[in-house]
Structure 1
Amino acid sequence: MSDTVDGRWAEIFSPRYLAVTTILALGVSLFAFNAFLSATALPSAVQELGGLEVISWATTLYLVFAIVGGAAAALVKRRLGSRWALIGLAAVFLVGTLIAASAASMQQVLVGRAIQGFGEGVVAALCFALIPELFPSRLVPKVFGMQAVVWAVAAFGGPAGAGALTELISWRAAFLINVPLVLIFATMVILVVPQGQKALDKSGFPGLRLAVIGTGTMLVALAAIVPPTPAALLLVAALIVLAIAVWLDRRSDERLMPPDAFSLKTAVGSGLWLFLLMPIAGAASAVYLVLLLQQLWGYGPTLSAAIGAVMAIGWSSSSVTVANVRKRATRRVLIRTGPILLALGMLGVLIALETTQLPLLIVGQLAIGMGFGISNGYIMLTIMEASTDAERDRTSALLPTTQSAGNALGAALAGVAANAAGYAQASGQGEILAAIVPLFLMAVGFAVLAWLAALRMVQLAKQTPIAEFASE
């Protein structure tokens, strides 16, 4: 195969691919919007329904069940076929939406959010699995660039849209806006997505493995809300439980994951480690920067959030820019450079906070976003290309699940590091500034680990035959 990858932006919006591109954008936007929904709409729900003590679980349960759903996505696709898997789980998401929107108590909202999470976790993972099935290799970087833009729009528009609906109509309207989007999505899936092959082997439902994955994810979520010592123990337990899930899956007749998932001996396994470690490293800024700007610099919520969103600008703009890169050698350079930019950005943000330098802070945020933007798409493409035809569904579907797990684990680790350094008890600027040093240095450490994983993946990818995807 040639060492170049050709493809134009206009092609993914051409008549041949427009409907498929729209389906993928809708699938990703549903997940992205709902990830940002709770912080904006649910405080109003609490005012009406009560249950302030469980408000954080509306987000936690959504993410936990989304990770479990993502883990099951490849199996669902094999059992139902592409079309009916997407329609069926979009219907599950719709049921969860209606339960939450009609809730008479916060407990009912939690049930709805959990069902939403499972349905959308499967849908988002299936959208990734469809990329190599419906697009040729040369267009895949453009598709990933489009998805990065969708996430950036959701980061800005999600809270704003949910806030406007909540203020002008009701918090229930912020949930119900999903209804027409799901109906449009399902209609387009019926018209465009092929049925796909159903698996002939009907082995048992992997309930034990999904339960183990859910338990491990829940332990991570719990670690984010308890004191440092029990949090550290919960994280250790979570890692053990998740390792057991991978071990069980490798020995199953019908696996949820590729057989080399998280193995450092293959490009796929090393790439999954890279895809997990980068969100862990990015969590320090994502979780704490907006709050720190209010505490240290006296900024209001709007200005703080705008500065926090600079990272999304760097991510989406750089992702779109590098989607035009043609040479595979350059693509490998971008993969190796992404974690370095992430580490430098974290150091820049830390120094900026310590020295009250707004320009440096913005540069650091841009560097963090660019670290993700220039590398994420090509990490995913390299993983897909290195996967065998038989395992590509499992591998592709595992990508958003791995990234969500990295975000959850990163948030928990950031909380443990900050609280262990005394951040929660800090009473003045000096104490706060001292407490955040270990937090950001830990982030830099994980970025370095991600860089080592990138080196390993690139090395192994050179030795792996490159797979083509959909026919031209």
Structure 2
Amino acid sequence: MSFSDTRHSTLRRRYAGIFFDLTGQARWLASLTLILGVGSHAVNGFVTAAALPDIIRELGGQERAFWVFTLFQVAAIVAGTMTGTLKARLGAKPLFIFATLLLLAGSLVAGLALSIPGLLAGRFVQGFGEGMIMALCYIVIPDLFEERAVPAVYSLLSAVWALAAGAGPLMAGILIETWSWRAAFLANVPLTALLLMLALAVIPSATREKAEISDKAKAAAIPRLLMIAIAVTLISFIGEMSDPKAIVTVLAAGLGLIVFTLYLDGRSALPFVPKGAFRLAGILGLSVWIRLIMSSSNAIRGVYYTGIGQSLWGLSVTQASYASTLTAFSWTIAAWLVAGVSDPDAQRRFIRLGTISSAIGLATVAWALFMQSFPLFAVGSIACGAGFGMSYLFLSKSIIYATEGAERDRAAGIIPTLTSAGVAIGAAITSLFALQFGLSEPGTGELVTREAAIASGPPVFLVMAGFAALAIPLAFALPKLRRAG
């Protein structure tokens, strides 16, 4: 047998093993639950964004359109923050059922709303349910799958995000054009029915923490959740601001409030965040910081990619949207290519390579804008996505298995919250530098003009590439990862 045949045989066995880990011994039900739970959150954003113009035309309230997304995001982050602790004490099954009912209620309220306040109320409840479901999908992975299969599970979830990015706009258009914007929310009704059935069949009920918590400790948790909500709201509101000094002030206030909340959480008898999660040392702390930096630095893509594609290369809205999905698809392909890697040293190398690829990708996009080259723009986008794909599944696994017991539930629960918070922080930082360099020009009526994309796009993307590069030394400082048990 030739070397090529041997290599292909090895790859076939590896991917056959991955397929068995995801579907064998009735685990396909667990995989389906995660696909639907994460997929509902992923598709929701695309569908709501597509429905917003029709919502404004029917209900009015253009000045409050910002809150349609912000209230959802705030609720999702708060829910995700508390889910790990609640799961450890109450078990995942009752929480999953409760979260699914919240998603159902919020979707009905939003879908049947006769005014913008009603829609906003529904979005808040919907966000709380979605945030809790997302966190639970990550938390139950160690309960439903063997440790060696965890990277494959994350690869599966990355494929869900890529599929949502590719099919989301098309699904949104079909639903809204054949029915109305209300379908964007009412389509969740049959989904929640299926999620409830799967929750009853698949989600475990086991708890990890048995010790009683005092009423004082429970009461002290509420202010911390409120502070998180205020901090996220402040940071999210920066997208509506145009004064750089005000942005710096609000961003500092929001970040300061987060730091203070984490300090209080570390001293609490009922913490939401695992101990050591934000120390610049150890597997847990370094993995958390790497993931947060990568999410924050790449938030610029979500803010400006579509606008740049339209203004600089004359793409239609649909063409620009699909051009931006290059990152999602390269992410998924890279994740699947490395999913079967089990050697801890190789996993650590892919984390390092991922941080490098992410920074180089953003720098390449800056160069593409300077050269006005769409092919180069596509290469940079692919490099960003590949960087995430080859690193995030091993970073997620490192975060989960750096802890034990209830701390593991908290660690797994903050993974989607880290991404959401990172995107919010990154979008705020991007807004600041976009104003400073002139990429965003208030009063023009456009998100970004062709002239601004050429002149100001390169320095803004280079700054964010430098931000992304901060993760590289942290990746090289990462201790040796543990071998799967």
Structure-2-length-normalised TM-score? 0.91
Q: Aligned match of 1:87 in 88, 97, 105? A: 97
Q: Aligned match of 1:359 in 375, 378, 383? A: 375
Q: Aligned match of 2:223 in 203, 208, 221? A: 208
Q: Residue 229 in 1 paired to residue 245 in 2?
A: yes
What RMSD, in angstroms, separates the aligned Cα atoms of the two structures?
Answer: 1.7
Q: Tell me by how many angstroms 1:11 deviates.
A: 2.8
- The one-letter amino acid paired with 1:192 is V
| Counterpart residue number, 2:352 | 336
| Counterpart residue number, 2:184 | 174
Alignment of 1:255-266 (within 5 A): 255-266=271-282
Alignment of 1:155-194 (within 5 A): 155-194=165-204
Q: Aligned match of 1:122 in 132, 151, 155? A: 132
Mapped partners of 1:276, 1:113: distance in 2: 26
Mapped partners of 2:20, 2:337: distance in 1: 14
| Counterpart residue number, 2:148 | 138
Mapped partners of 2:301, 2:145: distance in 1: 34
Whether the 8 Å contact between 2:369 and 2:453 is mirrored in structure 1 is no
Mapped partners of 1:105, 1:91: distance in 2: 23
Q: Deviations over 1:323-368 (max 9, x none)?
A: 0223221111100011111111111111112212222111111101
| Counterpart residue number, 1:32 | 42
Whether the 8 Å contact between 2:238 and 2:251 is mirrored in structure 1 is yes
Whether the 8 Å contact between 1:97 and 1:113 is mirrored in structure 2 is yes
Whether the 8 Å contact between 1:388 and 1:467 is mirrored in structure 2 is no
Whether the 8 Å contact between 1:349 and 1:361 is mirrored in structure 2 is yes
| Counterpart residue number, 1:420 | 436
Whether the 8 Å contact between 1:49 and 1:105 is mirrored in structure 2 is yes
Mapped partners of 1:335, 1:94: distance in 2: 38
When residues 466 and 393 of structure 1 are mapped into structure 2, their CA distance, relative to the original with a 3 A threshold, is: farther
Q: Tell me by how many angstroms 1:466 deviates.
A: 5.3
Mapped partners of 1:270, 1:145: distance in 2: 21
Unaligned runs of 5+ in 1: none
Q: Aligned match of 1:309 in 320, 325, 329? A: 325
Mapped partners of 1:273, 1:174: distance in 2: 35
Q: Tell me by how many angstroms 1:431 deviates.
A: 4.2
Q: Aligned match of 1:380 in 383, 396, 399? A: 396
Q: Tell me by how many angstroms 1:108 deviates.
A: 1.0
Q: Residue 404 in 1 paired to residue 420 in 2?
A: yes
Q: Tell me by how many angstroms 1:54 deviates.
A: 1.0
- The one-letter amino acid paired with 1:201 is E
Mapped partners of 1:59, 1:235: distance in 2: 19
The SS at the match of 1:254 is coil
Q: Tell me by how many angstroms 1:129 deviates.
A: 0.6
Mapped partners of 1:78, 1:328: distance in 2: 28
Alignment of 1:31-50 (within 5 A): 31-50=41-60
Q: Tell me by how many angstroms 1:200 deviates.
A: 4.4
| Counterpart residue number, 1:278 | 294
Moved more, 240-249 or 49-58: 49-58
| Counterpart residue number, 1:349 | 365
Mapped partners of 1:312, 1:34: distance in 2: 16
Mapped partners of 2:261, 2:484: distance in 1: 28
Q: Tell me by how many angstroms 1:36 deviates.
A: 2.0
Mapped partners of 1:429, 1:180: distance in 2: 43
The SS at the match of 2:240 is coil
- The one-letter amino acid paired with 2:454 is L
Q: Tell me by how many angstroms 1:425 deviates.
A: 2.8
Matched residue pairs, number?
A: 460
Moved more, 30-39 or 95-104: 30-39
Mapped partners of 1:180, 1:429: distance in 2: 43
When residues 45 and 430 of structure 1 are mapped into structure 2, their CA distance, relative to the original with a 3 A threshold, is: closer
Q: Tell me by how many angstroms 1:249 deviates.
A: 0.3
Q: Deviations over 1:128-167 (max 9, x none)?
A: 0101111111111110000000001111222221221111
The SS at the match of 2:245 is helix
Moved more, 154-163 or 108-117: 154-163
Mapped partners of 1:331, 1:246: distance in 2: 29
Whether the 8 Å contact between 1:340 and 1:451 is mirrored in structure 2 is yes
| Counterpart residue number, 2:270 | 254
Q: Tell me by how many angstroms 1:171 deviates.
A: 0.8
- The one-letter amino acid paired with 1:210 is L
Mapped partners of 1:340, 1:37: distance in 2: 33
